[in-house]
Amino acid sequence: ALGVSTQELQHYKPVKTEVGFLNGRDCVYLDTISFNYGENTFTLKGSINGNLCSENLTGQEIPYRIAFRGVMALKMLELDTWDGDSASYI
């Protein structure tokens, strides 16, 4: 059929966190992206919307910080302009 890909679809499984499953695209907020060239460290900071977590009874926002060390190169794409034809990690 025209327009139908014969490639096998990838299926993703949700990861259960300490506050349960994170539901919806508005659950994780990204506030800050930083790259330290001297230390080759890439850091993401933001918060998780507690109201969209399956097991967070308080509903409060949860701050997070994720740091990657030994990063030699970085490529960022604006989601609205990504054509989807290539892997996001290239």
d(CA 32, CA 47): 10
Q: Is the pLDDT of residue 90 over 70?
A: no
Which among 31, 34, 66, 63 is positioned nearest to 47, based on CA atoms? 63
Contact 71, 89 (CB under 8 A): no
Look at residue 61 in the predicted model and tell me its pLDDT: 93
Based on C-alpha coordinates, what's the Rg of the chain?
17
- The angle formed by the CA atoms of residues 33, 28 and 9, to the nearest 5 degrees, is 100
- The rounded mean pLDDT for the chain is 84
Between 52 and 25, name the one with better pLDDT: 52
Q: Is the pLDDT of residue 9 over 80?
A: no
Across the range 46-63, mean pLDDT stands at 92
